[in-house]
Structure 1
Amino acid sequence: MGDAPPRIFTFTDDFVFKYIFGREQQEKLLIKLLNALLHREGSQQIVDLEILNPFNPKETASAKASVVDVKARDGTGRRYLIEVQVKNRPDQIARSLFYLARLYADQLGEGEAYEDLCAATAITLTGYRLFRHHHRVQSRFRMRETALGYELSDLLELHYIELPKVAEMLRHRHSPPAEADRQEGEAPEPPWLSLTRFEKWLYILRYGRRFAGEGPVPPAITEEDGIVMAIDELRKINADRELRQLLEQQEKERRELNSSRFNPHKAYQVGKREGLQQGLQQGLQQGLQQGLDQGRQEGMAQIIRQLIASGMPPEDVARRLALPLATVTQMAAPRS
């Protein structure tokens, strides 16, 4: 049997997305993407952008391994967060609201006035159907009065873009209709010349596998500013063995981090097992007990450090684990 074919990276792979749109010097490409996804035209377009958490593919510390969103600030001060979430998470909406609120709140320093706060927009691209009761690809949320429907403020805005609905969107919006998906993930052939900028971007994000190799790119796509840049970046990743290995290592670290983060019992058992081994090596009952205790403490400390590294405030960690805040703070401190 021959070797398995190499993995094909696509735009919806977490670290690929951040590598393409979230590195330093990639501001222009991120501007193109945001303007398309937010339907910004004319004077409303983003023209200046700073990436607040630039991605370094060689930085593989576990503290960074769980952070795969891209944060940016435009010339007016408005903040943006964009991420890809491929797997269905039951806590997705609560998670989105948490990160949007933090994106908004983090800009205010001690002693600064609330009127200095700028708007914040969060965008999540999902690889699954989040809202099954409607067929819209993009859902936009703001704060409104529930009875009269008037808007309270435009300072907080939350977008969900459901990529599995792209083919259906193309079928309904264009005549003749786009070819239906024959298999899950197979790219339909749309009427390229009639696609909007928004639809073209969604197509390449949804069906990135089609553009990862050296095949031809439809002329209507090459005319769209920014899309060719994104496809070129995707092809570079798939052709660069060293970069592929770096991104795969990032994903591995993130999986391990999330495994312990969402399974505290597993991390606890790891710590307990290490303590047991240490105790057995000492050969004394006292040593065994000390090893067990140390293992339990190390397991709990590991959980605490990982939760904080993922962005959870120490106060929330303390409540979640039913521990005093002082204990959480002490265990989270770097070991000397």
Structure 2
Amino acid sequence: MTKRLDLRVDFAFKSLFGTHGNESILAAFLNAALRFPDEKKIHKVQLLDPHFNKENQEDKRSILDVHAQLEDGSRVNIEIQLNNKHDMEKRTLYYWSKMYSSQMKEGMDYGELCKTITINIVNFRYLSHIHDYHSTFQLYEREQKVLLTDMLEIHFMELPKLLIKWRNKEVDPREDQLVRWLLLLEASEDEEITHVLEEIAMQEDQVLKKAMDEWERVSQDPEVILAYEARRKALLDEKSALRRAENQGETKALRTVVLSMTEKGMNPTEIAGLTGIPEEIIKKLLQQ
């Protein structure tokens, strides 16, 4: 069997969910993600330009992973993040605001603006204080918990949390379609998941079968593979750079603590005994 592209890489994700001709796949994912009742199920989605032009010289030029419009005019952005850049809230609000404000055209009334939804799929644990893998945020009054407006909706879907539930048999892709679609993103690295999803696709889910067939096809396309490998390398380089930055930050914070203890009259042996940090590392920190 062909080695399939890792769908957690944004380029591969877009190749499957954000490509013209695959709108039915995107609609099925959104129906599962947004939990629409049967009478409000999405039947058609329109893929929109993922680029937002800079409005001024200082502005960032934004490129969304998957940008779509639903039948009722609602706008949806799906972002997949392999690495934690520790800026998700601000990045999310920035992209949401660009989507929301881009609807406004000359002569339009504010009442014509449509609901705007951001879905963040992240390959790391992000919301440590929330146990579930799928979290939804809206604008509420702090004390009364009254919804101000449904125009803003932000979702976080944390793949590591889902995998733990999958391994503990707390979720079942046969019963939950969102679990089904999110596990598809992990399937390139897990034969058991792939086998289960292939069974579901053959027995009951024609759209999932289409997605897996299309996934197989693009995974054999030389041009797609070339672009995918370039993007995957860039993400790996980014991850390494983030790790170096984190390590440098930890070292700086540790040196600050050691210097503070030294200023209070403690020697390296005493600091080592109190903190558990090896004495030779403390001496190196003091020499920096």
- Normalised by the length of structure 1, the TM-score is 0.60
- Taking a change above 3 Å as real, the CA distance of residues 242 and 40 of structure 1, as seen in their structure-2 partners, is same
2:264 corresponds to which residue?
none
**Counterpart amino acid of 2:177?**
R
Asked if the contact 1:103–1:120 (Cα under 8 Å) also holds between the matched residues in 2, the reply is yes
Partners of 1:250 and 1:66 in 2: CA distance: 17
Alignment partner of 1:243 out of 224, 228, 233? 224
Alignment partner of 1:123 out of 107, 119, 124? 119
Displacement of 1:93? 0.9
Partners of 1:217 and 1:42 in 2: CA distance: 23
- Taking a change above 3 Å as real, the CA distance of residues 211 and 13 of structure 1, as seen in their structure-2 partners, is farther
Displacement of 1:19? 0.9
Alignment partner of 1:199 out of 179, 187, 192? 179
In structure 1, list runs of 5 or more residues that go unmatched: 1-5, 56-64, 172-176, 180-189, 260-336
1:34 corresponds to which residue?
30
1:135-150 counterparts in 2 under 5 A?
Answer: 135-150=131-146
Displacement of 1:131? 0.7
Partners of 2:8 and 2:19 in 1: CA distance: 16
- Taking a change above 3 Å as real, the CA distance of residues 256 and 108 of structure 1, as seen in their structure-2 partners, is farther
Alignment partner of 2:169 out of 178, 191, 199? 178
Partners of 1:93 and 1:131 in 2: CA distance: 11
1:41-52 counterparts in 2 under 5 A?
Answer: 41-52=37-48
Displacement of 1:207? 3.0
2:82 corresponds to which residue?
86
1:55-70 counterparts in 2 under 5 A?
Answer: 67=63, 69-70=65-66
* 2:63 match: secondary structure: coil
**Counterpart amino acid of 1:27?**
E
- Taking a change above 3 Å as real, the CA distance of residues 69 and 151 of structure 1, as seen in their structure-2 partners, is same
1:303 corresponds to which residue?
none
- Taking a change above 3 Å as real, the CA distance of residues 191 and 123 of structure 1, as seen in their structure-2 partners, is closer
- Normalised by the length of structure 2, the TM-score is 0.70
Asked if the contact 1:15–1:250 (Cα under 8 Å) also holds between the matched residues in 2, the reply is yes
Q: Percent identity?
A: 29
Displacement of 1:101? 1.3
Q: Deviations over 1:105-133 (max 9, x none)?
A: 11011231101101000001000001112
Partners of 2:67 and 2:143 in 1: CA distance: 34
2:209 corresponds to which residue?
228
Partners of 1:120 and 1:238 in 2: CA distance: 32
Q: Is 2:25 the counterpart of 1:20? A: no
- Taking a change above 3 Å as real, the CA distance of residues 107 and 192 of structure 1, as seen in their structure-2 partners, is closer
Q: Deviations over 1:290-313 (max 9, x none)?
A: xxxxxxxxxxxxxxxxxxxxxxxx
Asked if the contact 1:167–1:178 (Cα under 8 Å) also holds between the matched residues in 2, the reply is no
- CA-atom RMSD in angstroms: 3.3
1:268 corresponds to which residue?
none
**Counterpart amino acid of 1:178?**
K
Partners of 1:37 and 1:51 in 2: CA distance: 17
Displacement of 1:78? 0.5
Displacement of 1:249? 3.9
- Taking a change above 3 Å as real, the CA distance of residues 253 and 128 of structure 1, as seen in their structure-2 partners, is closer
Q: Deviations over 1:131-181 (max 9, x none)?
A: 11221111100001111110000001000000101123336xxxxx529xx
2:150 corresponds to which residue?
154
Partners of 1:257 and 1:45 in 2: CA distance: 38
Asked if the contact 1:24–1:54 (Cα under 8 Å) also holds between the matched residues in 2, the reply is no
Give the aligned length. 230
Partners of 2:48 and 2:239 in 1: CA distance: 23
Asked if the contact 1:9–1:209 (Cα under 8 Å) also holds between the matched residues in 2, the reply is no
Displacement of 1:68? 5.0
Asked if the contact 1:140–1:160 (Cα under 8 Å) also holds between the matched residues in 2, the reply is yes
Q: Deviations over 1:58-99 (max 9, x none)?
A: xxxxxxx98351000111111000010010111111100111
**Counterpart amino acid of 1:148?**
Q
* 2:35 match: secondary structure: coil
* 1:226 match: secondary structure: helix
**Counterpart amino acid of 2:49?**
N
1:219 corresponds to which residue?
199
* 1:157 match: secondary structure: strand
- Taking a change above 3 Å as real, the CA distance of residues 22 and 145 of structure 1, as seen in their structure-2 partners, is same
Partners of 2:232 and 2:114 in 1: CA distance: 33
